[in-house]
Amino acid sequence: MAKFDSDKTAKLHQELHSHLPSESALRVKALESLLVKKRLVDPRTIDAWIEAYSEEIGPKRGARIIARSWLDSDFRQRLLTDASAAIDEMGFLGNATAHLKVVENTQSTHNLVVCTLCSCYPFSILGVAPAWYKAAAYRSRAVRDPRGVLSEFGINLESDCQINVWDSTAELRYLVIPERPAGTENFDEDELTEIVTRNSMIGTDRDLASVRKGDI
C-alpha cells in the first residue's frame, strides 16, 4: 500500500502553483477570452497594442532619447533643464512624461528611481513597467536600503559613490541618463539606442560597457 507523505504532497502542490500565472493575469486572460468570444475585440488588435508598447512606444523611445543626449550636448542640456520640452522635440511627449525630470549618472553618482506610493512610471517612453518595479519589496527597500537593492541587480558601487533615490509621483516622474560606455565613440544614434537598457533608465542597470558594436 502506498504511503501518503503530506509534506511531499504540500511541496508538490506549491511547486505546481508557482508556475501558474498571477491572479490578476488570469483575470485579464479570462476577460480577454470573453471579449474575443463575443466579438467585441479582435485578438490581432490586442497583439498589436502589446507589440507597440513593448517594442515601439517604449523602451526604445527612451533609449533613443538617451542616445541622442550622448551625441548632442545641446540636446542633453535641454533634456536636463526641461525634459518635457526636449522630449516633445522628438515627438515622444505623452501624459506620463508631461512632468518629467531627467537626472544623469556619473562616475561618482548613481541615480535610482522608485515610486513608493504605487507604481508611477513614464510608460510613454519606457513601455510597460516591469513587475519588480511595482512590487512592494522594491518600493520599500529602494528607499531604505538602495545599495543593497542595487547589489541584487548586480550593481556593486564603491563606498564613496553617492546614491540619489528619486521617488516618482503622479505629478513628477524621472528618467536616468546612464553613463555612455567607453568604446562607443564611433557609434551612430541607432547603434547607441541598441545598447541602452530599460533598467539603466530606471537605475537598476549601470554597466553598459560590456556591449560593443560587434555585439549588436
Range 64-76 burial, b when 16+ CB lie within 10 A, else e:
bbbbbbbeeeebb
State how far the Cα of 137 lies from the Cα of 102, in Å rounded to an integer. 25
Q: What is the mean pLDDT of the segment spanning 60-78?
A: 97
Q: Which domains does the chain have, with CATH numbers?
A: 55-205 (3.90.330.10)
Chain centre to alpha carbon of residue 32: 25
Residue 176 near residue 205 (C-beta atoms within 8 A):
no
Residue 148 near residue 204 (C-beta atoms within 8 A):
no
State how far the Cα of 53 lies from the Cα of 3, in Å rounded to an integer. 52
Q: Lowest mean pLDDT of 90-94, 119-123, 155-159, name the range.
A: 90-94
Q: Could you tell me which residues come within 8 angstroms of residue 209 by beta carbon, excluding any fewer than 6 positions away?
A: 181, 182, 183
Top mean-pLDDT range of 21-30, 45-54, 86-95, 114-123: 114-123
How much is the mean pLDDT over the chain? Answer: 85
Which of 33, 54, 108, 118 is the catalytic position? 118
Q: Is the pLDDT of residue 83 over 50?
A: yes
Q: Lowest mean pLDDT of 24-33, 83-92, 180-189, name the range.
A: 24-33
Question: Higher-confidence residue: 64 or 211?
Answer: 64
Question: Higher-confidence residue: 98 or 65?
Answer: 65
Residue 174 — very low, low, confident or very high, per pLDDT cuts 50/70/90? very high
Q: What is the mean pLDDT of the segment spanning 102-113?
A: 98
Which of 69, 120, 124, 168 is the catalytic position? 120
Which of 115, 124, 168, 200 is the catalytic position? 115
Does 120 participate in catalysis according to the annotation?
yes
List 167's β-bridge partners, or say none. 114
Does 119 participate in catalysis according to the annotation?
yes
Q: What is the mean pLDDT of the segment spanning 95-107?
A: 88
% of the chain with per-residue pLDDT over 90: 60
Q: What is the mean pLDDT of the segment spanning 43-69?
A: 80
State how far the Cα of 91 lies from the Cα of 38, in Å rounded to an integer. 37
Q: Could you tell me which residues come within 8 angstroms of residue 66 by beta carbon, excluding any fewer than 6 positions away?
A: 177, 178, 192, 193, 196, 200, 201
Does 69 participate in catalysis according to the annotation?
no
Residue 10 — very low, low, confident or very high, per pLDDT cuts 50/70/90? low
Q: Is the pLDDT of residue 5 over 60?
A: no
